[in-house]
Structure 1
Amino acid sequence: MFNPIVTRPSLLLAGCSALVLTACSPAAEPPATSKAEESAHASEPMAMAQTPFSAAETRMHEAMMAATGADAGETWARKMIPHHQGALDMSQIVLRDTQDADIRRMAQKTVEMQTTDIAELRRWLETRVGAAAGAAAPGGGGEPPFAPAETKMKDAMMSATGANTDRMWASKMIAHHQGALEMSQVALRESQDAGIRRMAQKTIEMQTADIAEMRAWLAAHPVGGS
């Protein structure tokens, strides 16, 4: 029988060919989605920076996430202070830019109401907790009940846009107030403190009325309308 003789150079050639094929195989290429993912992540901060409200929104969300307390009532109070401050800051921005009489009225009302509410929350913390308002209590365990509402509010506010500053402010305030409403409902469910329950119920009533007013303004000022 004839036995083929395989020379050493032939073996080397075959090995090199295999290496070339392996190097050219799809498995050796980097994942096709990596560049797309990097591009998406890189574009997110740019999208935020394009709105006049981005800095105020970011400050508010970061401060709210960091605020905790010894129980649900205290946590709600600590989170509502930066929440209301965010609405105050954003309303001052729209007051600087808008020429619409109704937007100016709603924004001014928001500034006045949120300033009053912040002072009330700080008094409650100083009286009932004996701690400086805005300082997180160590080892606070009250954050988890509010996390879903906070996340929902953040996503809704960040995605709220408008053809101009007026519409953007109204859209973002609807999401902002809806977040306060839902977090206040959690506080009513979790807290037995009379002061917290009174402030939470007042927040629900006021924010519900404000949401209806802002939705009516948006409906009366459609994009492209006069």
Structure 2
Amino acid sequence: MNAFTRALRRTPARRTAAASALAAAALLLSACGSGDDTSGTHHGGTGPSASADAGSGAPSSAPAGEFNDADVMFAQMMIPHHEQALEMSRLADGRASDAGIKDLARKIEQAQGPEIKTMKGWLTAWNKPTAAPSASGMDHGGHDGDGMMSAADMSGLKAMRGEEFDKAFARMMIDHHKGAITMAEDERRDGHNADARKTAAAIVKSQSAEVEQLQGILDRL
């Protein structure tokens, strides 16, 4: 076999190898250039390139990963809502006479205090303010659908004692809880962050049960 024949036999193999190399390079460039941007969805972590899976083992108080505007609004609005619930619950000490009201007030403090801390941690991790731009909208003025009490409502509750306080507290907290449940259901429907949606589900479950308990107390007072 002469050199010319050997060269002819080698040429197809070389062409095949070159074609394979070019195909592999094209696939690599395609993978590097592909994006998964979703409108309205942001990445947590320290920079815009943070992986959506980077926070899979992070504590729930500071979740990395993706979040959207609904998650931010949920946390920003639920924080002052929970703060008012704590304010109402603390009034029960020295004013409430019913054992059921006293017990529920303690449970609300124990549950919602840590949730406030958790939600503030989310907003810090997301580089978002802990108060919504219209934070004054949750200044205890009372707004349709959110269950917030007005300043007059709170002043009236502070002036009550005994059974009068128990009944007013139960009625007000039922409305307050219903507002929180609505907000949490909105988050479950529209939110993106797994930790925020999990907390919303827990709020719906726990506060729905407390609404039933409070209604039972009202029925027997």
> TM tier, shorter chain?
0.5 to 0.7
1:198 aligns with 2:191: no
Which residues in structure 2 correspond to 1:137-152 (within 5 Å)? 151-152=144-145
| 1:155 CA drift (Å) | 8.0
| 1:156 CA drift (Å) | 8.3
Unaligned stretches of 5+ in structure 2?
A: 1-67, 138-142
User: What's the counterpart of residue 178 of structure 2?
Assistant: 178
Q: What is the aligned-residue RMSD (CA, Å)?
A: 3.0
Compare relative contact order (CA 8 Å, sep 6+) and give the higher one, 1 or 2: 2
Q: Is the 8 A contact 1:95 1:108 kept in 2?
A: no
SS in 2 for 1:133: coil
Q: Is the 8 A contact 2:72 2:128 kept in 1?
A: no
CA distance in 2, matches of 1:131, 1:96: 38
CA distance in 1, matches of 2:219, 2:85: 21
| 1:96 CA drift (Å) | 2.8
Unaligned stretches of 5+ in structure 1?
A: 1-69, 144-149, 222-226
User: What's the counterpart of residue 49 of structure 2?
Assistant: none
Pair 137,153 (structure 1): closer, same or farther in 2 beyond 3 Å = closer
CA distance in 2, matches of 1:204, 1:192: 17
User: What's the counterpart of residue 88 of structure 2?
Assistant: 90
Which of 80, 101, 109 aligns to 2:78? It is 80
User: What's the counterpart of residue 11 of structure 1?
Assistant: none
User: What's the counterpart of residue 220 of structure 2?
Assistant: 220
CA distance in 2, matches of 1:132, 1:152: 23
CA distance in 1, matches of 2:109, 2:174: 15
Q: Is the 8 A contact 2:81 2:148 kept in 1?
A: no
Q: Is the 8 A contact 1:88 1:110 kept in 2?
A: yes
Identity score, percent = 27
SS in 2 for 1:94: coil
What TM-score does the superposition give when structure 2 sets the normalisation length?
Answer: 0.57
- How many aligned positions are there? 141
User: What's the counterpart of residue 121 of structure 1?
Assistant: 119
Which of 126, 130, 137 aligns to 2:127? It is 130
Q: Is the 8 A contact 2:72 2:123 kept in 1?
A: yes
